[in-house]
């Protein structure tokens, strides 16, 4: 389906979803949000898609946040609903049993940073700039920033970012564990695609179990998390892919997973 504010491309089992409002630094307005939900639902349902990359159009921004121009007319309830609606889209990414990489090319601010935080991991171009600047507008992050950022980089670093509204560059983001890799801008998408293709060749069903175990386990205490892992580990033994993987290893061959 063609989108007005997003672009969707497919290379084999890898889908690239691009926020496509470059003249507004890909800021998320209601239309983007509605299309984002549709696109995520479609990607989650598409059997042939086994890894997803989110990125931004142009060289300046991944996503520079929620569209501030819509804030002037928002009632408190509408603001809460907008924040939760974007939060729900981010939850779809975090709960989807497929790996999602954020390929961050430029500004990654506010809701854009919250989106990237909901992805499984972030690759950043050298020009990437991260921040939660909401405090400068007299508001706070409303789509998971106060929750996911401290869980990823620690409470003190998250507080400093959220209380000051400071922007940090890609190297600093790497240093504090916000991003996994920093790349030249020209190498960002190729690197993300290479990693996505590598993950897409694994058993999709088993990779989904690993993602769910990490997501559900890190949202609870260690003992409960270990119990979640034990069940997911056992469930992996019900798959054809487990038999294929173990047999191929023992026969010194290469496994071909069929995602079942």
State the residues that interact with ligand COA by CB under 6 A: 24-25, 27, 64-69, 107, 109-111, 133-134, 137
Buried b (16+ CB within 10 A) or exposed e, 193-202: bebbeebbbb
Residue 114 is among the residues annotated as catalytic for this protein: yes
Which residue in 11, 47, 70, 114 is the catalytic one?
A: 114
Look at strands 107-109 and 129-131 and give their pairing. Answer: parallel
Residue 149: alpha-carbon gap to chain centroid: 13
51/195 Cα distance (integer angstroms) = 9
134 has catalytic annotation: yes
Least Cβ distance, residue 176 to ligand COA (angstroms): 20
Beta bridge partners of 66: 28
Rounded Cα distance, 260 and 238, in Å:
9
Instruction: Write phi, then psi, for 131 (nearest 5 degrees).
Output: 180, 160
Q: Helices (H) and strands (E) in the chain — how many of each?
A: 10, 10
Rounded to a whole number of angstroms, the minimum distance from the CB of residue 145 to ligand COA is: 9
CB of 66 to ligand COA, least distance (A): 5
Cβ distance to ligand COA smaller for residue 58 or 225: 58
Cβ distance to ligand COA smaller for residue 65 or 144 = 65
Q: What 3-state DSSP class applies to 103?
A: strand
Spot the catalytic one: 31, 70, 134, 244. 134
Smaller CB distance to ligand COA: residue 64 or 196? 64
CA 107, CA 166: separation in Å to the nearest integer? 12
What CA–CA distance (Å, rounded) separates 122 from 173?
A: 10
Q: How many residues in the chain?
A: 260
Distance CA 189, CA 205 (A): 25
- Minimum Å gap between C-beta 62 and ligand COA is 11
From CA 132, how far away is CA 141, in angstroms rounded? 7
> Least distance to ligand COA from the beta carbon of 129, Å?
8
Q: What are the catalytic residues?
A: 114, 134
């Amino acid at each position: 389906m063609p989108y007005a504010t997003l672009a969707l491309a497919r290379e084999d089992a890898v889908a690239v979803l691009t926020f496509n409002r470059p003249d507004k630094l890909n800021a998320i307005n209601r239309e983007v949000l509605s299309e984002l939900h549709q696109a995520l639902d479609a990607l989650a349902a598409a059997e042939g898609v086994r890894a997803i990359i989110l990125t931004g159009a142009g060289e300046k921004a991944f996503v520079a946040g929620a569209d501030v121009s819509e804030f002037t007319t928002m009632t408190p309830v509408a603001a809460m609903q907008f924040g939760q609606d974007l939060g729900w889209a981010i939850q779809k990414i975090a709960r989807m049993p497929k790996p999602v990489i954020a390929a961050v090319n430029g500004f990654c601010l506010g809701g854009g940073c919250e989106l990237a935080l909901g992805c499984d991991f972030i690759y950043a171009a050298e020009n990437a700039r991260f921040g939660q600047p909401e405090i400068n507008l007299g508001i706070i992050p409303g789509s998971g920033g106060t929750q996911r950022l401290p869980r990823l980089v620690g409470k003190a670093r998250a507080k400093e970012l959220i209380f000051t509204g400071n922007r940090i560059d890609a190297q600093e983001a790497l240093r504090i564990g916000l991003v996994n890799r920093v790349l030249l801008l020209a190498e960002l998408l190729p690197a993300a695609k290479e990693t996505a293709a590598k993950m897409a060749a694994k058993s999709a069903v088993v990779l989904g179990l690993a993602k769910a175990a990490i997501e559900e386990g890190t949202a609870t205490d260690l003992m409960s998390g270990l119990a979640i892992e034990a069940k997911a580990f056992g469930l992996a033994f019900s798959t054809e892919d487990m038999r294929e993987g173990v047999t191929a290893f023992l026969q010194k061959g290469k496994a071909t997973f069929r995602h079942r």
